[in-house]
Chain A
């Protein structure tokens, strides 16, 4: 089990909450309301931390665990916010055979987070992606819009340093 609790402090605003509550009020009596409510909530907050799921539970009567079960089932929902920099490592076939798996592991270790998560300071989030069409540069990762290719595990420290500066 990974602890989904330790994450970036929640910074939701009253306006965001009002927007979500209005949507819940509109939807909650229709069948299958949970999915659209979760999608809306993610659109509003960017992710679905315990604070947001609790608002949904309190206002729909759906047990928190049931909501959490749905959120963790679908890849489209995230429990973590996006960091200032999103590091996206290509795990497509070409990059993978060139060792991008090791780069991904090194990043997890270095940042102290698992794929899909965000560092506690809100700086980096880490995700895996499929082919970005730069197989000639394999293995490849992107940091927001910047692309880094022909990488080795040893390059990871330098890349992080660059954005940490």
Chain B
């Protein structure tokens, strides 16, 4: 591509033609602050925090650096007195209608607005105080709340919902000073076809939207001597939790996480990975059964509750394609409250099952019908990675100083196939490892075609003389594109993996928020996924069917995959929902 030369704060640099002022500055080592800008997702130049002085030969003037394209020989000033003055005024105006309850805000300490105010030396947060709008907090959804009193109207949540997820249940209503983010006809989010993915929460720069926090009842359960409190952690949590404690993106903190959970007082620290292996046993069996007996194909994975809810709302005619397998979170709870309860001789009513998930849709999932294998809910509380981070901090645990510890047996035993569930393509790869073995007796481990962060991946494998066509999608706009191809008859896959969040669970809506200034230049999906693939590569056992604890579970309790008992405990049904 053709290059042009620009000068950023006196530093001459060559950039590709079409690069924005923001990109040129970044390349020259200067960061321009942003609030609304999300690369390729929300390029609307609306918030004006990125204003930058440029000179294209006619003198310096202010432009929106995030979207303004560089021209040859352009001079750029990213932090001149005029720039600083303008940004400061914009911040003061944002603050004039912002509910400044920073001390009690969930984002205190990692709020992008708070950081900018500090960086730009805002001395008087109430400088332009005047008329304000007050809004009721929307608590209608199972997984999150919206407090528009803290909203700065950056529209990142709107863009991620409409563009990345292809849903669009939130948007800007009214106009001018009365503008607010909400849903059609002021429906509460819980009344809309929101799928609970939480991507809006991950991109919110402030505390206007957040997950519903269940730390308190979990701590109360731990303090109750009558209760046995078990915890399970999803694969992706170990790849994200470290960020809550300042560790670089892509740090594996599995051992410290286990140690911290024990110090928090959980009676047993187990691993959702165990149930991921179990999911593979059931789902591979279901797949082979559907292929052999002419069942509904393509079979589509059901691990991601955001995706499942999306399917129910937007592709209700395809719910029969969904695997009847409960998600690993729910399978884990079902096994813990039946098999494990029996093993330790405890009434399942006295077991409190807590899950730590990179996900907000899991909070919705635990309340679904038909998720109570032992007559009590399979999972009692589902916390996000962020909530766990807060719990550890609140308990005064020196996370960074913890020695690594191991999960408890037997529900902490897992394989490499399970840990990659947390990245897009991981469930497919894990299923292929077991399906190919079941059909051919061979043991291939690596299926690189289904790895990587692309939104849609396709591959064909010849297994025992049959061409098995598979596809993997992550992010719901990608899922929609793929499913429309299937519906139009343009593709005839046998097996599809879909994850609601782009990149899979590592980038789930419950993972630690990463400031957009970093996200615009670092692919957090890839960095966190690396953690999981590295763990997989080092695991002694890398196929779900070789997991000794899973073998014991079938031998002692479930008989075989797809047995009557397995169906009763580990499988579920779906409903058809409407679009609102």
Q: Using a CB–CB distance below 8 Å, which chain A residues touch chain B?
A: 1-5, 50, 53, 57-58, 63-69, 72-74
- Chain B contacts for A4, CB-based, 8 A: 185-186
> B168–A65 contact, CB under 8 A?
yes
Q: In the bound complex, do residue B171 and residue A69 qualify as a contact, i.e. CB atoms below 8 Å apart?
A: yes
| Complex interface residues of chain B between 19 and 61 (CB less than 8 A to chain A) | none
Q: Measured between C-beta atoms, what is the minimum distance from A68 to chain B in Å?
A: 4
One of B173-181, B264-272, B394-402, B449-457 contacting the partner:
B173-181
Residues of B within 8 A of A72 (CB): 173-175
**Known contacts A65-B168, A66-B162; is A73 also within 8 Å of B580 by CB?**
no
Q: Is B471 an interface residue (CB 8 A)?
A: no
Q: Are B175 and A65 in contact (CB under 8 A)?
A: no
User: Which 7 residue pairs across A and B have the least CB separation, nearest first?
Assistant: A63-B168, A68-B184, A64-B184, A69-B171, A65-B184, A65-B171, A73-B175
Q: List 27 A-B contacts (CB under 8 A).
A: A1-B136, A1-B182, A1-B186, A4-B185, A4-B186, A5-B186, A5-B187, A53-B184, A63-B167, A63-B184, A64-B579, A65-B168, A65-B169, A65-B171, A65-B173, A65-B182, A65-B183, A66-B168, A68-B171, A68-B173, A68-B183, A69-B171, A72-B174, A72-B175, A73-B172, A73-B173, A74-B175
> Closest Cβ of chain A: how far from B315's Cβ, in Å?
13
Main secondary structure of the interface of B (DSSP, over half): loop
B170 close to A (CB within 8 Å)? yes
Q: Is the CB of B173 within 8 A of A69?
A: yes
Measured CA separation A152–B167 after assembly (Å): 51
B135, B162, B180: which contacts A63 (Cβ < 8 A)?
B162
Distance of A18 from chain B, by nearest CB (Å): 22
**How far is A4 from B167 in the complex, measured between Cα atoms in Å?**
22
With the chains together, A73 CA to B184 CA distance in Å? 13
Which of A58, A64, A74 has the most B CB atoms < 10 Å from its CB? A64
Residue of B at shortest CB range from A75?
A: B175
Chain A residues in 8 Å Cβ range of B169: 63, 65
Complex Cα gap A69–B173 (Å): 4
Q: How far in angstroms is the closest Cβ of chain A from B185?
A: 5
A-B contact count (CB 8 A): 57
* A64: B residues at CB distance < 8 A: 184-185, 579-580
CB distance from B169 to the nearest CB of A (A): 6
Output the least CB separation between A24 and chain B (Å). Answer: 17
Contacting pair B174 A73 (CB below 8 A):
yes
Chain B residues closer than 8 Å to A66, beta-carbon distance: 162, 168, 171
Residues of A within 8 A of B187 (CB): 5
Smallest CB separation, B310 vs chain A (Å): 13
Counting chain B CB atoms within 10 Å of each CB, which of A3, A67, A69, A73 scores highest?
A69
Q: Which B positions have Cβ atoms within 8 angstroms of A? A: 135-136, 162, 167-175, 180, 182-187, 192, 579-580
> With A and B bound together, what is the CA distance between A2 and B186 in angstroms?
8
Residue with the greatest number of chain B CB neighbours at <10 A, chosen from A4, A65, A72: A65
Which residues in A have their C-beta under 8 angstroms from that of B174? Answer: 72-73
Q: Please tell me if the beta carbons of A67 and B186 are within 8 angstroms of each other in the complex.
A: no
B187 nearest CB neighbor, chain A only? A5
What residues of A have a CB within 8 angstroms of the CB of B180 in the complex?
1
Q: Contacts of B192 on A, CB cut-off 8 Å?
A: 65
Q: With the chains together, A6 CA to B415 CA distance in Å?
A: 55
Hey, which chain A residues are within 8 Å of B172, CB to CB?
69, 73
Contacting residues, chain B, for A57 (C-beta < 8 A) = 579
User: Complex Cα distance A152/B182, Å?
Assistant: 38
Q: A22 to B580, alpha carbons, bound, how many Å? A: 23
Give CA–CA (A128, B580) in the complex, Å.
32
How far is B175's CA from A136's CA once the two chains are assembled, in angstroms?
34
* B21 shortest CB reach to chain A, Å: 29
CB contacts (< 8 Å) of A65 on chain B: these are: 168-171, 173, 182-184, 192
Q: Which residues of B contact A74 (CB under 8 A)?
A: 175
- Of B169, B182, B184, chain A has the most CB atoms within 10 Å of the CB of B184
Quote the shortest CB–CB distance from B26 to chain A (angstroms): 32
| Minimum C-beta distance from B141 to chain A (A) | 14
With both beta carbons as reference points, the residue of chain A lying nearest to B182 in the complex is identified as A1
**B residues near A2, Cβ cutoff 8 Å:** 186
Q: How many angstroms between the C-alpha atoms of A137 and B186 in the bound complex?
A: 40
A3 touching B184, Cβ below 8 Å: no
**Bound Cα distance A137, B280 (Å):** 81
- When distances are taken between beta carbons in the complex, the residues of chain B under 8 Å from A5 are 185-187
Select from chain B the residue with minimum beta-carbon distance to A50: B185
Cβ–Cβ < 8 Å partners of A69 in chain B: 171-173
Rounded to whole angstroms, the CA-CA distance of A72 and B168 in the bound complex is 16
List of A residues within 8 angstroms of B185 by Cβ:
4-5, 50, 53, 64, 68
C-alpha gap A5/B579 in the complex (Å): 17
How far is A74 from B174 in the complex, measured between Cα atoms in Å? 8
Q: How far is the CA of A47 from the CA of B182 in the complex (A)?
A: 21
Given contacts A50-B185, A68-B184, A1 and B135 within 8 Å (CB-CB): yes
**Known interface pairs A5-B185, A66-B162, A72-B173; 5 further A-B residue pairs with C-beta atoms within 8 A, sorted by A's residue number:** A4-B186, A64-B579, A65-B168, A66-B168, A73-B174
**Which of B162, B171, B579 gathers most chain A CB within 10 Å?**
B171
Q: Closest Cβ of chain A: how far from B577's Cβ, in Å?
A: 14
Q: How far is A68 from B179 in the complex, measured between Cα atoms in Å?
A: 12
Report the Cα distance A73→B174, complex, angstroms: 5
Chain A residues with CB below 8 A from B184, complex form: 50, 53, 63-65, 67-68
Give A36 to B525 CA distance when docked, in angstroms.
Answer: 41
- Bound: A66/B167 CA distance, A: 10
- Contacts A66-B162, A72-B173; A3 near B186 (Cβ below 8 A): yes
Contacts of B162 in A (CB 8 A): 63, 66
CA distance A69 to B579 in the complex (A): 17
Q: In the complex, what residue of chain B is closest to A64 when comparing beta carbons?
A: B184
| Residues of chain B contacted by A73 (CB below 8 angstroms) | 172-175
Chain A min CB distance to B177 (Å): 13
Nearest to A5 among chain B residues (CB) is: B185
Query: Closest residue to B179 on the A side, CB-wise?
Result: A73
Give complex CA distance A114, B518 in Å.
45
* Residues of chain A lying within 8 A (CB to CB) of residue B580: 64
| Docked complex Cα distance between A1 and B136 (Å) | 8
